[in-house]
Copies of this chain bind each other. A is one copy, B any other.
Amino acid sequence: MAPSKKPKKTLTDKEFTRISRALAEPRRFQMLRDISAGEGGCCACVDMPQRGDVSAATLSHHLKELETAGLVELVREGKYMKIVFERDVYDAYVARLAQL
């Protein structure tokens, strides 16, 4: 079968809450915005526009938070980190919000 797409139609309540919390931090939302803007996967904490504002540790922490929420996938790529936006998860979240 085609391995192309995970449907991920529905989020559990726990996932939903995690995403809400992840998005509730302005810096994190901004990061996600930047990530989603970079087409095939944005690269590296250090290259993120926010850098300079916060320490690498903080950035790393936020990134992990986004990952835990499932909004992002972090892929080690040699020395750097590839950050992949999980649009299906995000869309599922927005869709659920829109239901209300």
Q: Across the interface, do B36 and A100 meet the contact criterion of CB distance under 8 Å?
A: yes
A13 to B26, CA, bound (A): 9
Q: Across the interface, do A26 and B36 meet the contact criterion of CB distance under 8 Å?
A: no
Within 8 A of B (CB), among A1-48: 13, 17, 20-21, 23-24, 26, 29, 32-33, 36
In the complex, whether A97 has a CB less than 8 A from a CB of chain B is yes
Given contacts A24-B23, A94-B94, contact A100 B32 (CB under 8 A): yes
> Chain B nearest CB: distance from A91 CB in Å?
9
Point out residues on A near B: beta carbons under 8 Å: 13, 17, 20-21, 23-24, 26, 29, 32-33, 36, 90, 93-94, 97-98, 100
